[in-house]
Amino acid sequence: MAFSALDGKSRVDSFLHKAMNGYAELWSFVEKLLLLSHGQATLERGFSINKEVEMCNMNEDTIVSQRLICDYVRMCGGVVKVPLTKELLNECASARNRYRIFLEDERKKKEKTKQMNKRKGVEDELEELRKKRRTISTVCETLEKDADGLAEKAENTAGTKMAELITKSNSMRKRCKEKRRELVDLDHEIEKRAAELRHMS
């Protein structure tokens, strides 16, 4: 197998690939050898570039943009060889305005998220109040029913037993009234939260 002279512009792998055309097994072996020392070279070079362009508190989009710029400049052969097209100049001129619009959009997104979280908080609170109201309402009905039952029993008894039953019945009615007052307060609170929720819509 004869080798022609390697010029300074050709890559070693390209040169060897051409030279070993027809020697598939040998080329496969050489290819693996070449990969051993340079397998991560491109990736590591990328990390080096990232380190150069990276600054404190940089956003991911900024890093990506700077990498794109670096790659394009390198592709052009240096900063002085980058073609200053009309499109590029227009983009540079409007960059500040686009950045301002971007910041405004981000502010609106944050505001919207804040409003949504606030709305969700009010909705959750309203749901809790409604659950509480249902529970208290059930308790009221039970107390009233039990009080009526004790009063009926008291009618059919006499003496101390009757007095005891009436006392229990009255105690339950008193508790029922307290719960009813609590229900009224809850209704006011529910209405207040519902109005707040309607105002958010």
Confidence (pLDDT) at 151: 85
Position 32, amino acid: K
Confidence (pLDDT) at 188: 92
Report DSSP state, residue 81: G
Name the residue among 9, 10, 16 with its Cα closest to residue 32.
16
Condensed to tens digits (0 to 9), the pLDDT of residues 62-119 reads 777 877 888 888 888 888 888 888 988 888 889 889 889 989 999 999 999 999 999 8
Q: Where are the domains of the chain?
A: 12-82, 119-200
- Say how far apart CA 69 and CA 67 lie, in whole Å: 5
- Does the pLDDT value for residue 48 go beyond 70? no
- Say how far apart CA 61 and CA 45 lie, in whole Å: 20
Token pair recorded at residue 166: 């009436």
- Say how far apart CA 68 and CA 73 lie, in whole Å: 9
- Does the pLDDT value for residue 6 go beyond 60? no
- The pTM score is 0.49
Condensed to tens digits (0 to 9), the pLDDT of residues 126-172 reads 999 999 999 999 999 999 998 888 888 888 887 788 888 888 888 98
Mind giving me the DSSP string for 130-170? HHHHHHHHHHHHHHHHHHHHHHHHHHT--HHHHHHHHHHHH
